[in-house]
Amino acid sequence: SLLPPLLALLCLGLAQPNPDPDEPWCPYKVGGDGAAAAAAGARLCFRPPARGFQCSARGCRAHRSAGGALVANVLRNGSVLLQWGMRHWGPPARPAAALRGFALNCSWDGTYTRFPCDSVELGAACRDYLLAEAHDSVRYRLCLQPRFAPPRPAPPAQCVEFRVEPAAMRDIVVAMTAVGGSICVMLVFICLLVAYITENLMSPALARGGHAAAA
């Protein structure tokens, strides 16, 4: 059957831009009852790394864990790019060869209780992960923990919390920013126009009036 190879190609994300061949691909497996877990079907999938991504103030808001290892970049389109680095986990130092991967746990606040969302197992080469769709106005808590080969214990997980702004609110903020910029430009133009009239039209008229009075 051609179905398994086609599903494997789908997991590879061929629609993504071709990554650098020197960059390792990130293997991951999604578990849980969410939409991402249902789409992945507990299969091992691969995604290219998002190297060089920087959170710009206009289209992104970054939330960092207390230890600084995990960063959640909340984008304007509602997706969240997670990034992390091993150097922020601190001592004791562990050799890179002992690293077996990462465990990502997700939960979000409901009205009366906290609900679990998709959990992800990531390979040792992974340093980022994309949450394609996050619910608006929901407070998320994501915890990432490295996994090492025994007998080395795993360091404590680092967690980050954030809330995704509603799409309507993001549009209102963008519209207000655009209107505010237009008003500022208009005020500057009016000030320049008044200064020009005062300097070039009013001054000669006052000068002529002074000469006439003297005569």
171 with 159, same domain: the answer is no
Q: Is residue 148 part of a domain?
A: yes
Q: Is residue 214 part of a domain?
A: no
Tell me how crowded residue 120 is: count the other CB atoms within 10 A of its CB.
23
Mean pLDDT confidence for 10-16? 43
Mean pLDDT of the residues in the chain:
75
Verdict on whether the full-model pTM lies above 0.75: no
| pLDDT value, residue 133 | 79
149 with 178, same domain: the answer is no
Look at residue 65 and give its three-state secondary structure. coil
Higher pLDDT among residues 19 and 24, named by residue: 24
pLDDT at 190 over 70: yes
Evaluate the omega torsion of the peptide bond into residue 4 and state whether it is cis, within 30 degrees of 0.
Answer: no
Give residue 148's domain range: 26-165
34 with 139, same domain: the answer is yes
The CATH number assigned to the domain holding 49 equals: 2.60.40.10
35 with 129, same domain: the answer is yes
* Overall number of domains in the chain: 2
Q: Which of 95, 144, 153, 150 is nearest to 121 (CA)?
A: 144
90 with 39, same domain: the answer is yes
